[in-house]
Amino acid sequence: MWLLDLVKGYTINGVYKYVIFSEGTGEEERFVDIWHKKVPLNVTLLVWHLFRSRLPTNDNLVTREIMLPIGFAGDCDSVETALHLFLHCPMFGGTWSPIKQGIGVSLVHPSCLVAHFIQFGHLCDFSKNVQSCLYLIWFAMVWVLWKERNNQIFNKDEPM
């Protein structure tokens, strides 16, 4: 018997809501926009892990006692955290500046990635279609940055 919904019983939608909102943070709305129908599932899952602080960045792996601290792929002296990697690192996070200039807007780098995502997708009073395109750009940027980070760590490649 599915105890989470005694009226409707077991439904796929019920399981989905349970998985997405199970932590009970009160910030459930932050996950609604990441399930974009034009974004591949692997990219969406990357962002989902990113927002839940579950990416295997150096700080998370050290915290879980999986590995010892190592150097950062961006050649920074900073500890590799998701926030630093995607927003503050001169090599990786610095790629947002040309994107913002190309779109013709200015952003303030918020103190968390969820706020950056929301701010990026809700720039000005754009239409829903434009907001959808902005989200696609954000997803693509995060995916490319993560892939490049992994490429530098695992393949020892030079930065793009």
* Per-residue pLDDT tens listing for the chain (160 residues): 555 565 677 777 776 666 665 554 444 455 556 787 888 999 999 999 999 889 999 888 888 888 776 666 666 777 888 998 899 888 888 888 888 888 877 777 777 888 888 888 776 667 888 888 888 999 999 999 999 988 888 887 666 6
Residues 59, 106 within the same domain = yes
Number of domains in the chain: 2
Alpha-carbon dihedral 138, 144, 145, 149, rounded to 10 degrees: 160
Residues 8, 70 within the same domain = no
Q: How many CB atoms lie within 10 A of CB 155?
A: 8
Residue 86 lies in a domain: yes
Residue 160 lies in a domain: no
DSSP states of 70-117 = ---TTS-SS---HHIIIII-TTTGGGHHHHHHHHT------SSHHHHH
pLDDT at residue number 28: 46
Residues 69, 141 within the same domain = yes
d(CA 17, CA 105): 34
pLDDT at residue number 40: 92
pLDDT at residue number 139: 94
Residues 144, 106 within the same domain = yes
- Which tokens go with 5? 């919904």
Q: Which domain covers residue 99, as residue numbers?
A: 35-154
Residues 94, 17 within the same domain = no
d(CA 80, CA 74): 9
Phi-psi region of 67 (alpha: psi -120 to 50; beta: other; left: phi over 0): beta
